[in-house]
Amino acid sequence: MLATATHDHKRGEDVRTRLAVLSEVPEEWRRRVERWQTMNRTLTFDIEPADVYMLYQTLFGTWPTGLIASDAGGLAALGERIAAWQKKALREAELRSSWEAPDEDYERRCLELTGALLDPARSAEFLSDFTDFIAWTEPAARANSLVQTALRCVVPGVPDLYQGAELPDLSLVDPDNRRPVDYDLRRGLLTGEDVEASEWARMKFALIVRLLDDRRNHPLLFANGNYEPIAVRGLREKCVLAFRRRSGEEELVCAVAFRCAAALLGGKAVAPPAHWWDDTVLDISATDAFGDGRAATLFADGPVFVSVRRI
CA distance 40 to 233: 47
Q: Is residue 306 part of a domain?
A: yes
**3-state SS assignment for residue 294:** strand
pLDDT, the chain, mean: 96
The total domain count for the chain is 2
User: Which pLDDT tens digit goes with each residue over 25-37?
Assistant: 999 999 999 999 9
Considering the domain architecture, whether residues 125 and 19 belong to the same structural domain is answered as yes
Q: Residue 34 sits in a domain of what CATH number? A: 1.10.10.470
160 in a structural domain: no
What is the pLDDT at residue 291? Answer: 72
Residue 47 exposure: Cα atoms within 13 Å on the Cβ side:
24
Q: State the pTM of this model.
A: 0.95
* Measured distance CA(109)–CA(105) in Å, rounded: 6
> Is 72 inside any structural domain?
yes
Q: Is residue 85 part of a domain?
A: yes
Domain stops at, among 93, 118, 136: 136
Is 93 in a helix, a strand, or coil? helix
Per residue in 40-49, pLDDT (tens digit) is: 999 999 999 9
Taking the C-alpha atoms of residue 29 and residue 20, their distance in angstroms, rounded to an integer, is 12
Q: DSSP E strands: which ranges in 154-297?
A: 159-160, 228-229, 232-233, 240-247, 250-257, 281-282
Same domain, residue pair 21 and 127:
yes
Alpha helices in 155-237 (DSSP H): 183-191, 199-217, 219-224
Q: Is the pLDDT confidence value at 286 over 70?
A: no
Range of the domain at 298: 224-311
Domain boundary among 81, 116, 136: 136
Q: Alpha-carbon distance 180 to 163, whole Å? A: 9
CA 263 – CA 27 distance, rounded (Å): 16
State the pLDDT at residue 292.
80
Mean pLDDT of 19-30: 98
Task: Looking at the structure, tell me whether residues 120 and 235 fall in a common domain.
Answer: no
